[in-house]
Amino acid sequence: MKKLLLSIVAVLCAVTASAQEPGGWTLGPRLGIYTNVGDTVLGVGAVGRYRFDNNWRLEPSITALLHKYCSVDISCDAHYVFDLGVVRLYPAAGLTVNEIGKWAAGLNLGGGVDFNVANVVELTAALKWQAMFDERTNPVVLMVGANFNF
């Protein structure tokens, strides 16, 4: 068992590919708190990121909203990343389609921060405002998660 764990640690330490390199992918889980929707709603989902170059990346995501009705939020955001070493800051803008009461589309505007934890793992936190194209209130979403680099 010790040899297996040591082998796994050695492989993880030897991995040099990173999502900070162009063409790199990250995948991971995400938790979100949706406010301004009549009540506070928790969301659980998954996110992927694809890096086009040293600054631009695309982030598609899907989140299941956990309240009395079955709801989903599907988004795709573009990020412009400012790499400060261990920490990366980014503004974000994109499109969303969700069913919080009824289906609607809208814009995402916000930003976030990523923290390198290990060569293949980063923690992320973000805040975004979803400007919806209908008469309902516009949610503000606080998200936290982890990303695993491939």
**Highest mean predicted confidence (pLDDT) among 9-18, 63-72, 111-120, 129-138:** 111-120
Per cent of the chain over pLDDT 90 is 57
Domain extent at residue 40: 26-149
Residue 11 lies in a domain: no
Per cent of the chain over pLDDT 70 is 84
User: Among 70, 59, 41, 31, which Cα is nearest to 139's?
Assistant: 41
At 101, which CATH number? 2.40.160.20
Angstrom distance (rounded) from CA 97 to CA 134 = 12
Residue 48 lies in a domain: yes
Residue 18 lies in a domain: no
Angstrom distance (rounded) from CA 138 to CA 47 = 22
Question: What's residue 6's pLDDT?
Answer: 41
Question: What's residue 146's pLDDT?
Answer: 96
DSSP 137: P
Residue 115 lies in a domain: yes
Residue 126 lies in a domain: yes
Residue 125 lies in a domain: yes
Residue 31 lies in a domain: yes
Q: pLDDT per residue over 101-144, tens digit each?
A: 778 899 999 999 999 998 899 999 999 999 888 777 778 999 99
Question: What's residue 37's pLDDT?
Answer: 62
pLDDT surpasses 70 at 44: yes
Domain count of the fold of the chain: 1
Residue 41 lies in a domain: yes
